[in-house]
Each structure stands twice: as C-alpha cells, then as structure tokens.
A and B are shown apart, each in its own frame.
Chain A
Amino acid sequence: MAVRVEEQVLPTWKDGAVMRWVTSVDHKKIGLIYIWSAFVFFVGGGSMALAIRLQLAQADQEIATQGSFNALTTMHGTVMVFLFAMPLLAGIGNYLVPLMIGARDMAFPRLNALSLWIYMIGAIVLLGSFGAKGGAAQAGWTAYTPLSGPDYAPELGQDLWILGLHLVGISSLLGSINFLVTIVNMRTQGMSWTRIPLFVWSMVAQSILILLTIPVIAAALLLLLLDRQAGTSFFLPDGGGSAVLYQHLFWFFGHPEVYILVLPAFGIVSEVIPVFARKPIFGYKAVAFSSLGIALISMIVWGHHMFTVGLGDGLNGFFMVATYLVAIPTGIKVLNWTATLWRGNLTFRTPMLFAVGMVALFLIGGLSGVVVANYPVDYQLHDSYYIVAHFHYTIIGGMVLGIFAGLYHWFPKMTGRMYDERLGKWHFWLFTLGFSLTFVPQHMLGLMGMPRRVYTYDREGLFEVYNLVSTIGAWLMALAVLIFIVNVVRSWRSGPRAGSDPWLADTLEWYASSPPAEHNFDSVPYVASHRPLRDLRRRLGGERDG
C-alpha cells in the first residue's frame, strides 16, 4: 500500500476524523456525505408524509390544523424534491461518475465541496422555516402567487423557504457544471462518447437540464422575494404583474425537474439490468440518446401543468401533443430494458428486484401521465388525488425504486461489504406492497373528486375506506425503510467482505478496490467498448459471459 501522502501534509486542525470529512474534496467522501444527509431528509420528509396520512386516515380528524397541514404538505414536497432526491442523486453521481470514466476525481474538487456545503446551509435555512414566527411555509411546494405573495403569506417562513431553495439551487447548478466538465474532459483513454456507461449518459442529460432550468426557478424565486420584500409587482395582478407568469416560470423548471429526478434512476436501472441478466444492454445508443431526447422534449411541455389556467385550445393542444412526445423516448427505454431481460440469464438479487420493480411501477406512472396529458381529461382530474397518485408513481415508483436498486447494487463498492440479501428482499416486497396500497386507492379517490391538499373530508361512501388503506400502506413503506436502515447499519459493520467485483459487472468502477483507494485507480485498462471489464475478463481467459 502506498504511503498516504496527505497524512503528512495536513495541518493539525484537520487531523480529527470529523474534520477529515468536513474538509475533504474527495469525490467519494463528498458523495457519501450527500447520500447520508439526503437519506436523513428522506426520513424527515417521510415522517411528514406519515403525519399527513394519519390526519387523513379517517374523516374529520384533528391531529393537524388546517395551517399545520398546509405546512406539512408544503415542506414534505419541498424536502423530498430538493433536500432528498436531488442531493441523493448528486451523491450517487459524485461517487460513481469519476470511477466509471476512470478518472482520479471530479474536474473541480473544491467546487464540489462548495456545492455540498452550500446545500447543507440551504437545507438549514429551508428547515429553519419551521422555527419562524407563524410557522413554516404553507403555499405548497409550487408556491403559486398570490398565495405565496405578501398579502396571503406575510410570515417569514415563506421567505426562509425561498432563500433555502435559492441556496440549494445554486448548489445543484454548480454541481451540474462540475459533472458536465468532468464527463467532457476527464474520460480515460479510449473512452469515447459511445463507450461511457449509461449511468454517465443519464448524468449528462440530467446536468444539462439542471443547467438550463435551475436559473429559471432562481429567477422566479428572486422576483417572488422582491414582490414580498421590496414592493415590486412582478406576479401581483393588482400592481400590473401576472400570477400566470409565475406559473410559467415555475413549471418551465418544474417539469424538467421530474426528469432531473428520474433520468439518473433510468441510468441506474440501465446499469443494473444488464449485470443481472448477464447480457449487454439492448440498444446502447438508443438508451443513451433517448435520455437526451427526454431532456430536450421535457423543456417544451411545462404547459400541461397549467391546462386549467385558460391558455386556450391552441396552447393546450400544443402542450398536450408535446407531452405525448415524451412517451416516445421513454417507451424506447422501457422496450430496451425489456429486450435486455428477454432470454437473459436472470438472477433476482435485491438490486435486480428493485430495477425490474422500477420498470413496472414507472410504466404505470407513465401511463397515468398519458391519461392526464389529455387536457379535457385533465380539466376533470386537475389538482385531484389522481395527480397525487400519478406523480408519486413516477417519483417513488420511478426514482426511489431506482435509487434503492443503485444503493444495493453499489453497496459492496462503497463499503467493501455485502448487504443482507434476506433483509433486502423483505425491504423490496414490503416497500412495493406498501407503495401500491398507498397510491392505488388515491387514483380512485381522485376519480371520485377528492382534491389534493385538503386537510379533511366528508364522512361519505368509499372515501374513508380508500384513505384508511392508503394510510396503512404508508406505514408499511415506513416499516420497509426501517428494514433497509437495519440492513445498511448491520452490513456496513459486519457484512461479509465483497471483492472488488462481486457482480462480475462490466464498468470501470468495479476495477477499483472496494471501497476504492483515495486515488481510485492504480491503473486503468484501455477502454475499447462500453463493457471494458468484460473485455478484460475475456482477454485474461476468464469465463465467457454475454
């Protein structure tokens, strides 16, 4: 083992274990801090969801007041999207991208650390909203004006919410620049654009989306802050501003945001399925370029969130057709994953279960999306629980399941140990069961006319049954997450040692040791295809797979 140079040059105040992590610019350490802290926020945001479900378990309950219920839904959405989902993906990306392209680190390691700590500060400011006079922000995660304006939300909580999002946004923006430069400039020898792993392709598409849409939400939030604090009237109709403008700006970001979340999950699944099907991915280029296609089209569909605003049939029709177009590149991916599974030598280890579960559940979310993309149908379903069910199918069924697939898949790489397979399977089945119990009934609730964001409802017919089932499902999901935590903690301490490549996978991160050394690689093999390790195994006369 080489001498660890930095031990000799570190100033003494950096010597402790904590300061070693806090001052680290190593992409693996930064990635792990992202993942840990994002997971803490996942538990936090999940607890808010449990409180929401408790309040709605039966009609006429008074666990939460109207105000605190609004704060719960607002903060649940915001925390899950901005403090859990985006940072967790940034963490997985941070950990994997340099390893996958055979690089020593990200292009700008110190900028990387800056992104991380701006995110932390942003998270504190955002959650500080809870401690503000008048309570946390209550205008929903969309913060539509005039509801979030000075007249209806005069409390400080809304301002802290805005400032926190600004900081988190800056963090994501810097991160996206870092990812793109890393992938453009730092690929190892022989790794042309059609040889980079599909997860890296998904990070390219995601980073482009972040780069081009975060500035728009930043502008919207800045103008909202000015409306609230400086007396301007960008979004206030009384002063000649436009509330619809806010919605345009918000959704120009808000819709691509969905793909910012789900594209890396697509990338993870595209890595996991070939490994556990012992086959090359079906249609590498189609999978890679459909990510870019999704990114591109997702920037011209924002109006489908605004069908009921009154854009007119012309614009509504345009946004409807554009939305249908997204189904094409997405469908290409689903087809390719299915074709990869077809006649594969399948082993259903936990990562594979989550990956296949993701394809199935995301497909349901995608199909209900096609339903509501039809604007006359949306007139009926807009802002109902059908929408809540739809986007939770895409976000949990798509992204969260994809993330779990990735966390199990790369757990041996990140920790050097194997997770517990039995607990992993319990986690999968309980989680998907709980998920289905929670959100299938919400489709029905929406069709029956239950609006989202209401804190109580009438004692009538099936409303109570569906809501109760939904609440039970939510608690099952919580139990599943608890099992996951137990699994991670136990396995990290005392799981069996994993070799550097326990899955016989094909991409470069498995060439490094588990966990990788500070400098990642002693050497990197020349990359001659998108499956460099399989090439290596063949060259060395190992078993012939795929």
Chain B
Amino acid sequence: MSAIAHGDGQRHGDHPPAAHASSRVPPVLVGMYLFIASEAMLFGSFFAAYFFARVSVGAETWPPEPFELPVFLALLNTIILVTSSFTIHWALQSIKRDDRAGLIAGLGLTFLLGLAFLLIQAREYTRLGFSPRDLGFGSTFYGLTGLHGLHVFVGLTLLAIAFVRAVRGHYSARNHQGVELPGIYWHFVDVMWIVVYTTVYVI
C-alpha cells in the first residue's frame, strides 16, 4: 500500500533536495536575533530584582543613605560605549565597500573603547565603598552592572576574534557575517547599558 505513495521516490535521481531558503534572512542572523531576545529576558529578570529591592527597602532616597554613585564617571562610560556603537557600524559599512583598512580600524577602535569601558567600571567598583553584601541595594547594583559588564567582556571576546580574522583577511564585501554577528551583539550590549545607566544612575 505504501508502494503507491512512494512510487516516484527515485524520479529525481539520488540528489538530496535543493538547499532550503524559506526565509530571506540567513539562519545565523535569525539565530542571533532569537538569542538577543532571550538575553533581553535575562536582563529583564535582573531589572525585576532591582526594582523589587528598590520598592521593598522603601527608602526615601535612592541610593539609600549613606551610599552614593559616581554619576559622572558612569556618564563618561555611557559616552564611550555609545561611541563604540558608531565605530562598529563604521567597520561593517567599510567591509561592505571592501575597505579592509576601515574594517580593521573600526574593529580595533571598538575593541579599545569597550576595553576602556570595562577598565573604568573596574576602577569604579574598587572605589564605590560598598560591596554586593551591602543589603538589597548593593546586591542589585552589582548584579545589574555586573551582568552588563560580563556581557561587555563576552562582546570584547567576539570583537577580538573578528579583529584577528579581519587582519588575516577573512572578510570581504560578500562575506562579512563574522563582523555582522558581533556587531548585533555589541549594539545590544550598548542599548542595555543605556537602560542600565538610566535606571541605576539617573532615576
């Protein structure tokens, strides 16, 4: 009975079916966007923890006495990170025009800016005067900024790989997914920082 259904099994020869392309977006990009969505939920949970602590402590001022946050240092960091979003965009646009020097310069600059951000944050941590053990405030502050710092670190790793590959000439106008993917991640890390900065330092 099943022979009927499969009568034409061999009609097209022994080739596997043609490559599937049921979406115009390449698989790795779809995968990256989905991953970013899950990352957003991860940050969302940390924000939930932050606001829960903020509300449940019930302090009049935030940060609660006697803690203080270096708002201007963090603003400097914000400017650094936002700038790095432009430099990575420049790198991607360069390689799309087959401008390899622009790509390398853009990636290198982005990496240095990201590194500067992390170093400034590390310095900030050492001088804050409170630790993650200091009440819900200390826990959630370090939780949120630490989670973001971890993401900057991962982003730097990806950028370093892309940089080495760029120097070795792996990318071209037609093949630059290895720049595009870290770029998406890096933009996400930047946007998250703006939200973290606004939440933790400004309001």
A248-B22 contact, Cβ under 8 Å, with A213-B41, A519-B16: no
**Residue B5, interface by CB 8 Å:** yes
Are A522 and B9 closer than 8 Å at their CB atoms?
yes
Q: Give the residue name and chain of the B residue nearest to A173 (CB).
A: B38
Contacts known (A191-B22, A219-B42, A233-B135); A537 close to B17, Cβ less than 8 A: no
The one of B7, B16, B139 that contacts A104, using a Cβ cutoff of 8 Å: B16
A-B contact pairs, 13 of them (CB 8 A): A173-B38, A176-B34, A177-B31, A186-B22, A189-B18, A226-B143, A233-B133, A234-B139, A242-B52, A501-B2, A522-B14, A523-B11, A542-B5
| Contact across chains for A184 and B49 when beta carbons are under 8 A apart | no
- Give the contacting residue for A511; candidates B5, B41, B133; CB below 8 A: B5
Tell me if A188 and B34 are in contact (CB < 8 A). Answer: no
B23 at the interface (CB under 8 A from A): yes
Assuming the contacts A185-B21, A504-B1, asked whether A241 and B45 have C-beta atoms less than 8 A apart, the reply is no
Which residues from chain B contact A501 at a C-beta distance below 8 Å? 1-2, 5-6
Q: Which residues of chain A from 276 to 330 have a CB within 8 Å of any chain B CB?
A: none
Q: Is A36 an interface residue (CB 8 A)?
A: no
Per-residue contact bits, chain B 1-38, to A (CB 8 Å; 1 contact, 0 not) = 11111111111111111101111011100110011011
C-alpha gap A232/B57 in the complex (Å): 15
The answer, yes or no, to whether A524 is at the interface (CB within 8 Å) is: yes
Interface residues of chain B: helix, strand, loop or mixed (majority): helix
A188 surroundings in chain B (CB, below 8 A): 17, 20, 22
> Across the interface, do B48 and A248 meet the contact criterion of CB distance under 8 Å?
yes
B34 pairs with A215, CB closer than 8 A: no
B140 located at the interface, meaning its Cβ lies under 8 Å from any Cβ of chain A in the complex: yes
A401 to B26, alpha carbons, bound, how many Å?
37
Contact B38 A212 (CB under 8 A): yes
> Do A241 and B5 touch across chains, with their CB atoms under 8 A apart?
no
Q: Which residues of A contact B142 (CB under 8 A)?
A: 232
A181 and B30 contact, CB distance less than 8 A: yes
Say yes or no for B136: interface residue by CB 8 A criterion. yes
Q: Which residues of A contact B139 (CB under 8 A)?
A: 226, 232-234, 239-241
Q: Mark A148-182, 1 if CB is under 8 A from B, else 0.
A: 00000000000000000000000001001110110
A522, B35: Cα distance in complex, Å: 33
A516 near B: Cβ within 8 Å?
no
Over the window 352-364 of chain A, the binary record of Cβ atoms lying under 8 Å from chain B Cβ atoms (1 yes, 0 no) is: 0000000000000
User: Min CB distance, A348 to chain B, in Å?
Assistant: 20
Q: Which 6 A-B pairs have the closest CB atoms?
A: A219-B45, A240-B136, A187-B22, A499-B2, A215-B42, A240-B135
Contact with A along B39-78 (1 / 0, CB 8 A): 1011011101100110011000000000000000000000
B105: min CB distance to chain A, Å:
32
Q: Across the interface, which residues of B come within 8 angstroms of A504, CB to CB?
A: 1-2, 5
CA distance A521 to B42 in the complex (A): 39
Q: Give Cα A520–Cα B15 distance, bound, in whole angstroms.
A: 11
Q: Hey, what's the 0/1 contact readout for A483-526 against B, CB within 8 Å counting as 1?
A: 00000000000000001111010000011000000011111110
Given contacts A108-B27, A233-B136, A542-B5, contact A186 B143 (CB under 8 A): no
User: How distant is B192 from chain A, measured CB to nearest CB, in Å?
Assistant: 13
Residue of A nearest to B51 (CB): A245
A495 to B145, CA, bound (A): 60
Q: How far is the CB of A68 from chain B (nearest CB, A)?
A: 33
The answer, yes or no, to whether A249 is at the interface (CB within 8 Å) is: yes
- B129: which A residues are within 8 A, CB to CB? none
Q: Tell me, rounded to whole Å, the shortest Cβ–Cβ distance linking A225 to chain B.
A: 12
A97 interfacial contact with B, CB 8 Å:
no
Q: Is the CB of B4 within 8 A of A181?
A: no
B137 — nearest CB in chain A belongs to which residue?
A240
With the chains together, A104 CA to B17 CA distance in Å? 8
Cβ of A81 under 8 Å from chain B: no
Is B17 a contact partner of A249 (Cβ separation < 8 A)?
Answer: no
- A103, A230, A245, A537: which contacts B5 (Cβ < 8 A)? A537
- One of A103, A181, A187, A220 near B31 (C-beta < 8 A): A181
B30 and A219 within 8 A (CB)? no
Q: Is A218 an interface residue (CB 8 A)?
A: yes
Q: Cβ of A2 < 8 Å from any Cβ of B?
A: yes
**Contact of B49 with A185 in the complex, beta carbons under 8 Å:** no
Min CB–CB distance B50 → chain A (angstroms): 10
B48 and A245 within 8 A (CB): yes
| B45: chain A residues within 8 A (beta carbon) | 215-216, 218-220, 249, 252
Q: Which residue of chain B has its CB nearest to the CB of A503?
A: B2
A174 shortest CB reach to chain B, Å? 9
Within the complex, the shortest CB–CB distance from A309 to chain B, in Å, comes to 13
Q: Which residues of B have CB within 8 Å of A211?
A: 34, 37-38, 41
Q: Give the distance in Å from the alpha carbon of A139 to the alpha carbon of B113 in the complex.
A: 45
Query: Which residues of chain A are within 8 angstroms of B49 by Cβ–Cβ distance?
Result: 219, 223, 234, 245, 249
Q: Please state if B23 and A184 are interface contacts (CB–CB under 8 Å).
A: yes
Q: A178-B31, A218-B42, A241-B136 are in contact. List 15 more A-B contacts (CB 8 A).
A: A102-B17, A103-B20, A185-B20, A187-B22, A215-B44, A226-B143, A232-B138, A233-B135, A234-B136, A239-B133, A239-B135, A240-B53, A522-B16, A523-B15, A533-B5
Q: Do residues A216 and B53 form an inter-chain contact, with CB atoms below 8 A?
A: no
- Report the minimum CB–CB distance from A141 to chain B (whole Å): 19
Q: Is A214 an interface residue (CB 8 A)?
A: yes
Is A143 an interface position by the 8 A CB rule? no
A72–chain B nearest beta-carbon distance, Å: 30
Output the residue of B22, B25, B137 with the most chain A CB within 10 A. B22
Verify if A540 is at the interface (C-beta below 8 Å from B): yes
Considering the complex, give the chain B residue whose CB is closest to the CB of A217: B45
